[in-house]
Structure 1
Amino acid sequence: MGFNELLSDLHPSAGAQVAGIRRGYGGPPLRTLNVGCGPTRLRCASLLKPLYAWVSAARITDTERWRRHAEPAVVISSNADTLNLWLGIGPRVILDDLRRRTGVDWGLPNGDPSRFGSVEVAACEVAIAYAELAQAGAAGDPVAATVLEWMREVSGAQTFGVRDALRSPEAGIKGGWYGAPDETCLRTHAVAVLPRGGTRTTVVVGMTALPYTDAGERRVYQDRVMKGLPVEDEHDRVSGTTLRGLMATALADLGHHRRP
Structure 2
Amino acid sequence: MRGVRFNELLDGLDPSASVQAAGIRRGYGGPPARAVNVRSGLARLRCASLLKPLYAWVSAARIPDADRWRRHAEPAVVVSSNTDTLSLWLAVGPRVILDDLHHRTGVAWAPPNGDPSRFGSVEVAAEEVATAYTVLAQAAAAGDPVAGTVLEWMRQVGAAQAFGVREAIGSPPAAIKCGWYGAPDETCLRTHAVAVLPRGGTRATVVVGMTALPYTDPRERETYQEKIATGLSVEAEHEKVAGTLLRGLMTTTLTELGHRRG
Q: Same fold (TM over 0.5)?
A: yes
- Please report the RMSD computed on the Cα atoms of aligned residues, expressed in angstroms: 0.6
Cα offset for 1:157?
Answer: 1.8
Cα offset for 1:234?
Answer: 0.4
Matched, 1:78 2:81: yes
Matched, 1:92 2:92: no
Cα deviation, 1:194-246, whole Å, max 9, x if unaligned, reads 02010001000000000000000000000000000010010010000000001
Other-structure match for 2:57: 54
When the two structures are superposed, what TM-score results if normalisation uses the length of structure 1? 0.99
Matched, 1:168 2:171: yes
Match of 1:106 among 109, 115, 119: 109
Alpha-carbon distance in 2 for matches of 1:11, 1:159? 25
Match of 1:253 among 236, 253, 256: 256
| Number of residue pairs matched by the alignment | 259
Other-structure match for 2:195: 192
Other-structure match for 1:239: 242
Structure 2: state its 5+ residue gaps.
none
Match of 1:144 among 138, 144, 147: 147
SS across alignment from 1:26: coil
Cα offset for 1:110?
Answer: 1.0
Match of 1:182 among 180, 185, 191: 185
Matched residue type, 2:73: A
Other-structure match for 1:10: 13
Cα deviation, 1:66-91, whole Å, max 9, x if unaligned, reads 00000000000000000000001100
Cα offset for 1:156?
Answer: 1.8
Matched residue type, 1:204: V
Cα offset for 1:257?
Answer: 1.3
Once superposed, which parts of structure 1, at least 4 consecutive aligned residues long, lie more than 2 Å away?
none
Alpha-carbon distance in 2 for matches of 1:176, 1:233? 13
Please give the residue correspondences for 1:221-232 in structure 2 after superposition, counting only pairs within 5 Å.
221-232=224-235
Other-structure match for 1:154: 157
Matched residue type, 1:58: A
Matched, 1:38 2:31: no
Match of 1:212 among 211, 215, 225: 215
Match of 1:127 among 121, 130, 133: 130
Alpha-carbon distance in 2 for matches of 1:49, 1:207? 15
When the two structures are superposed, what TM-score results if normalisation uses the length of structure 2? 0.98
